[in-house]
Structures are given as structure tokens and as C-alpha cells.
Structure 1
Amino acid sequence: MTLTRHAQLVQSAVKRTSAHHLLPGQLNRSRYSSSAAYPERIAVVGGGISGLASAYFISKEFPKSKITIYEASNRLGGWIQSKHVDVPNGNVLFEAGPRTLRVAKNAAPTIHLIEELGLINDVIFTSKTSPAAQNRYIFYPDRLQKLPNKETGLLELLKLFSSGLLDGVLPSLLEFSRPQRPSNVDDETVESFLSRRFDKRVAQNLFSAVFHGIYAGDIKNLSAKTLLPLFWELERSHKSILRGFAAARNSAEAEKYQDFMTFQSPYDAAMERAMAEELKIPKDQDFAAKLKEASTFGFRGGMGQLIQHLEKALRANKNISIKLNQPVDHHQHMRALKGMDGDRVVLGTLQDKDQSIEPHSNAVAEKSDLVILSTIPKGFVVDDFATVMTVNLYYPNPDLLPVRGFGYLIPQSVAFHENPERALGVIFDSDAITGQDTVRGTKVTVMLGGHYWRDWQHYPTEEEGTTMARSLLERHLGIKETPVASYASLNRDCIPQYTPLYEERMRQYANTYLLEPYDGRVRIVGNQVNGVGINDCIQGAWFLALKLRGNGWKEKQRTGAERFFDNRPWQVVPVNRNHNNGSSA
């Protein structure tokens, strides 16, 4: 599917908004009338990792500010949920959500946070040389195919080609000869883009599996401009992806740095420079050395341990209050309040989920100098979210898996009879991260649903999900044993789907619902803005707090969506300085 400039309403909003949004490093002379040195009251809507990290980093910038976190549910942490389960002779840890973090450029704020929270001694590492780091698989067409790594020989590559998994790779080498997309194409799907530039089989066999692992999404319905930004930019600027990389390799910068080169957006470059200047991490040299040798890392108590320590630090701050079971129907129950004593936002809060209030009710309204939205209601920017069921299984037999590695993903091209459960992939937890369990054994997580369950009215029960997961493991891996422990968790609408024209919708949203009504007093952060990985969300929270520093919180033309208004040319940078995606299953 190819999309052109027919959305006139969106386009006009983009034009209006582009003139009003500041880019990193630009000055804004329009300030609040208030002479306050810091925001007296700050509201953070949402108690997931983005909201908690935002509150934490903002409290460091403004230690005197009163910060209130509003969370609709009865717990903090969002989709991060670690569960300890008793098994014979000990206990094991099950993760219902993310379980590991990548050691990547955008992990710097996460590492900084870990150090400040005193979590270093509870960090566990997965070495770059471990099977989990070296061995990753794709199930195709009816068996596991080991993906190439540094040690892959010619024979293994020939086996991959003979399997059909790499069909379309060789024709893709002629990408430089393909015609450039028309200038009036604003966006298109990932499948459409990859089919044009490379080969449809590459999209269906390889990329669809990767996008299952990160977004639980359908490449026929995801935005190429948003999720393949480097490829998209290289086609625009150099008419070809391969030509673009060749230009980077032959650039003056390549000669200067004597390194492999790529392109990077100025916004990401500015954020990376800010991290290098602000975050002198890690301070602990032993921790730094271990990170250098690791591909991923996690915590002995699971990812939930990060939430526990973050919550403890926030509750220990007398200027921070946390309100659970307090949903905020923002936009409907928010309004601007302008007066001689400064501008504020009235935030209406619901006492419980079934209660409705008038937008201007003063009975449950609180005035804030600044509101941080770590969640955006469905339909404003993203109208499609993936629902995923994770099924954790534990077997006492430590030698149950036929292979060692991180796990495997299942592309959309696999026949239905090989994947009737509509699984996205399987994580070999007992290989992916070790040191969380008190007993040996085999631990796996099966991911079900995602885009396959779009528009479903009813989802499998925990018992049904566990049965489906066991059926899949028996067919794919030959595992017939009965697990001694299992846990199935249905995560409704857990991953936003960045569909085509997402960025234009974001600009329209920022202009219509943030900039015009609130003049910079409402900022956005979270997985609809910064990316779906934990590192992405923490980095976004850190950078948002940095931009509030000094009088930044008074800037009327900031919304947190500045990335989407930055149209400056991309620049050539060394690969080892390039911003990386820190998402991890």
C-alpha cells in the first residue's frame, strides 16, 4: 500500500505546526508570564516505566517541585511484571513482559538510573560469546533455521539458501538499480517499501519475523517511514539505500574517523551529544567492564525489580505522591487556566473507573504548572494496539531444548498448519538470561497473538493459552513433557502499532491537542512517542526532563514531539556513535 498527499487536513496542520515547534538547540523567546523559577506543581499521568522515569528525572531537575503521579490501575510498572513461582526444590522467575535490555547507545539513561537506584549488584549479564547472543533462529518453513553470525561458515549459508529462507536476498543486491519512489509519497507500509527496494520474499521471510519480535505487528500495516527511518531517508536523499551507504563510506567523515559510517538524524545526534555530556556513566568501573562484554542484561529479581527500586526512590521523596486507582481521562478533563499569576492546567481526576465527571468540576480538579502525559488515549495518534499473550513454561529437565540460543521468531510466510496457534515466537529463557532461578531446568516463553488477534472480541483463557503453547512446542521442538509450572498473561493493547502516516498524525495531535490549548504546559512521553523498548522509554523520559531544565518548562512551543518536526538533513556519523534501537523482547 502506498499513501500520497490526500490527507489535506493533516497536511495543513503540519504546515501550521512546523513554524511553532522548537528543535534541539533553538531558542524560544516566548515565555510564560509567571516569574516562578521552577514549576510548583507537576502532574504525571501514567505509572508505567515512562511515567515513573519522567517523575524521577524531573525531580532531579526541580527538587522543590511537588510531583503527583496518577495511575489508573492498582499497581505501577505498566507491562513490566515479574512473577516468582514455587517449583519442586526451589522457585523460578516468569516475566509477563520485557525480560532483558540491550547494551546499546540509548541504554545510557537506563544505566545511569540503575546506578542511582543502587541496583548494580543485582544486574546479571548475558555475554557476547554466550549461545543466547550468538544463536538466534527463525522457524521456516517447518524447522528452525539458525541465522548467520560472525562464526557462520559457507556451508551454513548454503543450508540457509537451500531452505528458502534467504530467497530474494541475491536479487536484492541490485537495489541500487530500482527506481526511486515518487516525491509525493508520504509513507507506505514496511512490506510495500521492502518489496520495492529489495524483494517481497525478503520482507515476508526475514523482516516479518523481526517485526513480530519487536512490535507483534503486521508488516502489511506498519509504517516504513517510522520503523525503517534510515532506509527511508537514504532512498529520499540518495535514490537508493545501497548508494547511500556507499556515499557514507566514501565521505570525508569516513576518512577522518577511519571507521564504518552511516547516517543519523540531527535530532538523534543532539540527544546523543547530550547523553555524552550529561551522563558520565558508568561510574563503577567493574560494572562498566561487565557491560562492555555483555550483549544484554537484566536483574536477579526480574525486570520488576527495576520498578520496585524506582517506586521506592519516588516514595522516599517527600515532594512526590503516587495515586493508584486514579484514572485521568485527559483531553476531556483537562483545561487551560490563564491568569495574572501564571498559566496552569486544571487536571480532572476520576475517583474510580466507573465514575464520570464534568470537565470543569472543581471537586476533583487539581491545578498544575506542568502536565506530563506518559500515555496518549487510543485513537488520537495510534488507533491500533497489539494484544499479546505470553505463556511461561518451566520443565525440570535442563536438556529439553534441541538447540541453544536466545529463541526463535516465526515469520508471516510460515504456512497456517505449521502455526495454527498464531504464535509470534519463542524465547529460550533458560539461555537468554541466567541467575534468576534457584533450580536448574528448561524455561521458555511463547508469545501468542499480536496482529493475528486484531479485532478479536474474545481471547483465549489462561488454560487455553497454555494448551496452545504446549502444542506449538511439541510441533516445533518435539517437547512432549508436561511442565511443572506455567503462567499465561494476556496483555491487552500492550504495543502501539505505528501505521502509515503515524508521524503526520503525531504532528497534528501535537498542534491541535497540546500546542494550541496549553502553550507548552503539557508534554508527552512514552511508547507512542519514543519507541516501544524500555531503553527507548527511559531515554525519552530523561531527554524530556533535560529539556525542562532552567526555563525550559516555560517554553510555550514545546510539546515533547519535537522529533517529528525536525526536517534538517541527516548527517554522516561513525557507526559506533550511531543511535541504536534498544528494544528487546
Structure 2
Amino acid sequence: MQGPLKSLAPNARVGVVGGGISGLTFSYFLAKLRPDVHVTVFESKPRTGGWIRSLDTQDNEGSPIMLEQGPRTLRGVSDGTVLMADILKDLKRHSLLQYVRKRSRANKKFLLDTNDQLVQVPNSLMSALRFCFNPMGKGVLSGYLGERFRSKDSRPPGGDESVHSFISRRTGNELVSTNLVSAVCHGIYADDVKKLSARKVMGKFMDYEAQYGSIIKGSKKVNSQNKKSLSASGLTPLISLYRDAFSKDKYELARLIRDFSKYPMIGLSGGLETFTRSLTQELDKWPNVNLELQRQVQSVSKDPLSNRITVKTTEGPPVGDFDHLRITTNPSTWKETGLFNDQLSQKLLQRPQSNTVLLVNYYWPHEDLLLKNQQGFGYLVPQNRKNPEQLLGIIFDSVIEKNYNAYYPGFTKDMFTGLSKRQEYTKLTVMLGGHYLKERHTVPTAEETILAAKQALHNHLGISQQPLDNGTWKFVVAQDCLPHFFVGYSQWKHQVEQEVLNKFAGHISLGGMGFARGPGVPDVVTDSFMDVYKMVQDSKA
């Protein structure tokens, strides 16, 4: 959350740059809390939603299928997920909500070991024992047992270090980082564990070390405090603010928090894009919201007398007299588009970079090609192995979909009901590239990438050539979809926020994944709400 932001006068005009999940939710919260405010959303693409994309297409037999080409699940234990669920309820689309149980097969996660075998990430005593005897588990037990006794005095100067450096210090070895943590970083950030900022990615763990001398000690202490932070009504502090702002039923919100805390994953029937589509359709109806598609903002300027903001776009004349401008685009694109070329130093503009992910969807009807012991959410690939495919991980979409349960709050006595049994099929998403692409001068072609995906599915999962050659394949390049959180990113972020704040007198705020507290969709939604809440509350003061 950025601040202090300028409060909004009655009938203010607000511009929003970017029509992804961040821009849409910011617009929704603001336009609903302040119906007098007129909001204009500028989106460079012909559709909203950003990298949340649920592709409705057909398989090779002409049957309709849905393929996720971006995020597909939400964390159950998250304020942002509760906010999204409540928005769907307001839009009368809450019947789309689905959940995965903790004991479900879809909640089993795997890593790929050096022998191209899947090893389960521990979720029970037996799986923990098996993991410790696998080469992937080397260093985990000794690292865990000794972590609370290791000194914090070995911290490097400057307040930041790589994730690899931080984890290696706290566990007393490099194996935990290169085997386990690097795979997780592939799945979340598509990035190199040795170049990721620990302050940005694991800031709370660094704080635990500084305050309590240990990650484990700090985690136990904070978890105990968090349990006490729920109000008597069962709401978290942020959801309490949301309830007050929108006059919500506290019991319904408390029920969502209580129920979702039981589930590791929440999804939407029809794909995650049903949320952004529903939100777009709703905003399109509101008289105080204007959606401008295929209009990329090229530059921004401030009138020295009125302090109002003018934006120049690729289509049409400049649009001026904005009292506030919200920018949600990836900071790595600012230099190319020229957004802040006249306001920020070239040193600041040149620093941010992004990771590009190559996504390959595979579908095979009528048969589940995954073996019984392979049934799970999917697997991630650590950096400790040779990786000619430049593979980040593979998601087992068909396993997730078959293990979803419908969530209908208030509709039934038990509040839960199962989905009807689905036909057998195999649906997988192969993720490649990320930081590995920085070693290449060009992005691989669709043919090259699909061939690499086929090799991975054959070598790692044992899928035979016939279904691979005759299945349905889709390829998409998620260009610059994930910010690269380099060592020192938090300091860079603070400098940018301060310069924007000073030069635009609080009339511009920054959002999106590059400026949110965390990397997930719920984190971005939470960030949007908090900035809107602060602006609206300041207006009342």
C-alpha cells in the first residue's frame, strides 16, 4: 500500500492504467464506495483480465474444452480470496466457487528429482520420512533442527540478500535452497533462487530472524498472535475494514473466513477468468465507469497549477483533468512505453525486469494418462538438475478439476455439495522458460516449445508417444508476465514510490503485482482495496 495519497474531492475524475485484476478491482471498490467519482480504465489489449486467461476452445474431436493459460487457483487462507468471493456474491455469481479439500489428491504436490522421478512434498509423517530418504530431502532435517540455534550475526550488510543466501544461512547448507526452495521459486516467480530478493520474497522471515533470532521461533510466535487477532465476530482486521466500508453482513464474511481456512485451494467453475469477465460486465453497466480498450497510455503529466493529471494514449487525443491516476502495469514496461520518461530518472526506469513464461496446454480425451501414484496438483523442477527443456513445472489440471467440490454458501444445510462425476480425461499445463530465457537471444518457437513439453511428459510421467502425437496442444507466450524481484528491489520500489509521490503530489498511486505485498492474485486484490479505503477515508476526514 502506497501513501500518503491525495484524498478525492466530490465528483472527482480518476484514471486507471491497466485492466488486469488489479485495475479492475481498484475500479470496482472505488466506484462502489464513491458513486460520485468517475473512473476511466485504460487497457492496451482488446480484452481485460491481464494474464488471467481461461481459454474456451475445442479439442481435436471438436468437443468444447477450457484451458487455463494463467493463474487457476486461489489460496484459501487469504483476505483477498474472501474479498473476491464476496464480490462474486454481490454479482450473483457465487455458485461458481469451488474448493479442494486438504486430504484431496489434488493437494498432493511433487518435485522432480535428479533421476527424473516424482517425489512427494511432505504432507504427513510417512511422506516426510520418504522425502528425507530421497536425495531431494538432503539437508532438510538437519537444517530444520539446527535453524533456531544459528546466529543471525552472519547477515550481509545492506538489508537484503538473495533467497538462496538467506535460506542457506538459516539451514546451514545450500541443499535446501537448490533442491526445495528453488523449485517453489520456479512455480511462483519463474525465477532464479540465487537472484531473487529475500527482502521482497521472504520479508517476514527476515523480520523473524531479526526480531526473534530464528524463522521457526518467529513463525510460532506470530501464528499464535494471528489466532488472537481475529475479532469476536471472527473477522480479520482487513475484513473488518471491508465490512465497515461496504456495510456487509459480518456473519457471512466470518463464515467465508472459517470455511476457506479449511481449504488449501479455491477455484471457479469455468476458470479463473470468469471473475474478471464478471467484474468487467458489471463495471460496463455502471454510469460512473468507462472502459477504454486498446488504448495504451504512453505518458503522464501534471498541470503545475491545478495538479490534475493528463495522460497521452496511442489512440485519440490526450485525456486530462484526472484528480488521481492509478497505475497497475508492470514496471518493466514503463521505459518501453515512455510512461515516466520525463518524471523518473533513467537509472530507476532501467532497473526493473520481468520474466516471460512459455505455457503449453495439453489435452487428451477419454483416458487418464497419469498413474495412481502421480495423481496430484503437479510437480515443480528445482535448479539442482540438468534442464535441457528449460522446464519450470507441470500442473495436472485434470486432477484438480476432478477433485473440485462446489461451494454454495447458504444454499444447503451442510453448505457443501459434490460435483457430478466427470468423464476420464487428461489435461496438463507445462510451464517453461522464465529466468532460463535470459540465457537465450530469442524466444523458442511454438514447435520447439511443444516438442520440449512432449519430451518432459514422456521422460517424467511415462506418457507414450501415441497420445502425445494425437492430443490437443495450445501454446502461448506470457510475455513479461512476472516482475523480477532482484536483490535490492524493495529499496528500488521505495525510491520510485517516493519520487512519484513527490512529483505528482499524491495524485498518482502504484498498484499491480510489482507493488503489492505478495505475488498472488489475492494479494493484488487486497492491495487495491486498502489503497481505495485509505483514499476514501482521507476524503471523509
Per the TM superposition, whether the score is higher than 0.5 is yes
Contact 2:88 2:94 in 1 (8 A): yes
Query: Distance in 2 between the 1:287 and 1:365 partners?
Result: 41
> Does residue 95 of the first structure (1) align with residue 68 of the second (2)?
yes
Contact 2:330 2:513 in 1 (8 A): no
Contact 2:82 2:256 in 1 (8 A): no
Map 1:340-379 to 2 at 5 A.
342-351=306-315, 363-378=317-332
Comparing 71-80 with 291-300, greater Cα deviation is found at: 291-300
- Aligned to 2:492, what secondary structure does the other structure show? helix
> Displacement, 1:117?
1.9
Q: After superposition, what is the alpha-carbon deviation per residue over 1:119-175, rounded to whole angstroms, capped at 9, x for unaligned?
A: 111222222231012x1111112200012113x42xx43432222111112331222
Contact 1:347 1:367 in 2 (8 A): no
- Aligned to 1:187, what secondary structure does the other structure show? coil
> Displacement, 1:281?
6.2
Contact 1:112 1:282 in 2 (8 A): no
Query: Distance in 2 between the 1:294 and 1:241 partners?
Result: 25
- Aligned to 1:186, what secondary structure does the other structure show? coil
**Corresponding residue number in structure 2 for 1:165:** 136
Query: Distance in 2 between the 1:70 and 1:247 partners?
Result: 44
- Cα distance 1:393–1:182, how it changes in 2: closer, same or farther (>3 A)? closer
**Corresponding residue number in structure 2 for 1:388:** 357
**Corresponding residue number in structure 1 for 2:415:** none
Contact 1:90 1:438 in 2 (8 A): no
**Corresponding residue number in structure 2 for 1:507:** 494
**Corresponding residue number in structure 2 for 1:327:** 296
Query: Distance in 2 between the 1:221 and 1:236 partners?
Result: 22
**Corresponding residue number in structure 2 for 1:546:** 533
> Does residue 426 of the first structure (1) align with residue 398 of the second (2)?
no
- Cα distance 1:461–1:280, how it changes in 2: closer, same or farther (>3 A)? farther
Query: Distance in 1 between the 2:228 and 2:113 partners?
Result: 33
C-alpha RMSD of matched pairs (Å): 2.9
Opposite residue 502 of structure 2, the aligned amino acid is E
**Structure 1 counterpart of 2:147, from 170, 175, 182:** 175
More helix by share: 2
- Cα distance 1:72–1:245, how it changes in 2: closer, same or farther (>3 A)? closer
**Corresponding residue number in structure 1 for 2:19:** 47
Opposite residue 348 of structure 1, the aligned amino acid is K
- Aligned to 2:123, what secondary structure does the other structure show? coil
Query: Distance in 1 between the 2:146 and 2:257 partners?
Result: 42
Contact 1:496 1:532 in 2 (8 A): no
**Structure 2 counterpart of 1:123, from 78, 97, 101:** 97
Opposite residue 84 of structure 2, the aligned amino acid is T
Contact 1:103 1:291 in 2 (8 A): yes
Query: Distance in 1 between the 2:183 and 2:51 partners?
Result: 22
**Corresponding residue number in structure 2 for 1:407:** 378
- Cα distance 1:207–1:276, how it changes in 2: closer, same or farther (>3 A)? farther
> Does residue 523 of the first structure (1) align with residue 523 of the second (2)?
no
> Displacement, 1:317?
0.7
Query: Distance in 2 between the 1:294 and 1:182 partners?
Result: 36
**Structure 2 counterpart of 1:448, from 432, 438, 446:** 432
- Aligned to 1:92, what secondary structure does the other structure show? strand
Query: Distance in 2 between the 1:219 and 1:491 partners?
Result: 20
- Aligned to 2:331, what secondary structure does the other structure show? coil
Comparing 428-437 with 182-191, greater Cα deviation is found at: 428-437
Contact 2:74 2:267 in 1 (8 A): yes
> Displacement, 1:82?
1.1
**Corresponding residue number in structure 2 for 1:537:** 524
- Cα distance 1:325–1:81, how it changes in 2: closer, same or farther (>3 A)? same
> Displacement, 1:466?
1.5
Query: Distance in 2 between the 1:293 and 1:244 partners?
Result: 23
Query: Distance in 2 between the 1:301 and 1:281 partners?
Result: 29
> Does residue 313 of the first structure (1) align with residue 282 of the second (2)?
yes
> Displacement, 1:240?
2.8
**Corresponding residue number in structure 1 for 2:441:** 457
**Corresponding residue number in structure 2 for 1:9:** none
**Corresponding residue number in structure 2 for 1:336:** 302
Contact 1:406 1:431 in 2 (8 A): yes
> Displacement, 1:244?
3.4
Query: Distance in 2 between the 1:538 and 1:521 partners?
Result: 21
Query: Distance in 2 between the 1:367 and 1:441 partners?
Result: 54
Opposite residue 548 of structure 1, the aligned amino acid is M
**Corresponding residue number in structure 2 for 1:274:** 241
Map 1:99-248 to 2 at 5 A.
99-106=72-79, 107-133=81-107, 135-142=108-115, 143-150=117-124, 152-153=125-126, 156-172=127-143, 173-180=145-152, 181-182=154-155, 184-198=157-171, 199-245=173-219
> Displacement, 1:501?
1.0
> Displacement, 1:261?
8.6
- Cα distance 1:505–1:460, how it changes in 2: closer, same or farther (>3 A)? same
Q: After superposition, what is the alpha-carbon deviation per residue over 1:406-441, rounded to whole angstroms, capped at 9, x for unaligned?
A: 111110012x1xx31011111110111247997530
Query: Distance in 2 between the 1:214 and 1:45 partners?
Result: 25
Query: Distance in 1 between the 2:29 and 2:352 partners?
Result: 29
- Cα distance 1:226–1:552, how it changes in 2: closer, same or farther (>3 A)? farther
**Corresponding residue number in structure 2 for 1:301:** 270
Contact 2:15 2:42 in 1 (8 A): yes
Query: Distance in 2 between the 1:240 and 1:287 partners?
Result: 33
- Cα distance 1:286–1:273, how it changes in 2: closer, same or farther (>3 A)? closer
Contact 2:17 2:41 in 1 (8 A): yes
TM-score, normalized by length of structure 1?
0.77
TM-score, normalized by length of structure 2?
0.83
Query: Distance in 2 between the 1:371 and 1:452 partners?
Result: 35
Query: Distance in 1 between the 2:176 and 2:227 partners?
Result: 25
> Displacement, 1:457?
2.9
Query: Distance in 1 between the 2:535 and 2:474 partners?
Result: 42
> Displacement, 1:392?
0.7
Query: Distance in 1 between the 2:3 and 2:303 partners?
Result: 22
Contact 1:127 1:295 in 2 (8 A): yes
**Corresponding residue number in structure 1 for 2:339:** none
Contact 1:389 1:448 in 2 (8 A): yes
* Identical counterparts, % of pairs: 29
**Corresponding residue number in structure 2 for 1:562:** none
**Structure 1 counterpart of 2:461, from 466, 477, 480:** 477
Query: Distance in 1 between the 2:222 and 2:513 partners?
Result: 31
Comparing 157-166 with 45-54, greater Cα deviation is found at: 157-166
- Aligned to 1:301, what secondary structure does the other structure show? coil
Q: After superposition, what is the alpha-carbon deviation per residue over 1:159-216, rounded to whole angstroms, capped at 9, x for unaligned?
A: 3222211111233122233332357332000001111111210001010011111111
Opposite residue 112 of structure 1, the aligned amino acid is D
Gaps of at least 5 residues in structure 1 are: 1-19, 23-27, 263-268, 353-362, 555-585
Q: After superposition, what is the alpha-carbon deviation per residue over 1:455-510, rounded to whole angstroms, capped at 9, x for unaligned?
A: 53321222222211111000001001224311111101100111111111111101
**Structure 2 counterpart of 1:59, from 14, 25, 31:** 31
Opposite residue 313 of structure 2, the aligned amino acid is T
> Displacement, 1:275?
4.4
> Displacement, 1:236?
1.3
- Aligned to 2:194, what secondary structure does the other structure show? coil
- Aligned to 1:433, what secondary structure does the other structure show? helix
- Aligned to 1:177, what secondary structure does the other structure show? coil
Contact 2:302 2:308 in 1 (8 A): yes
> Displacement, 1:345?
1.1
> Displacement, 1:288?
7.6
Opposite residue 511 of structure 1, the aligned amino acid is Q
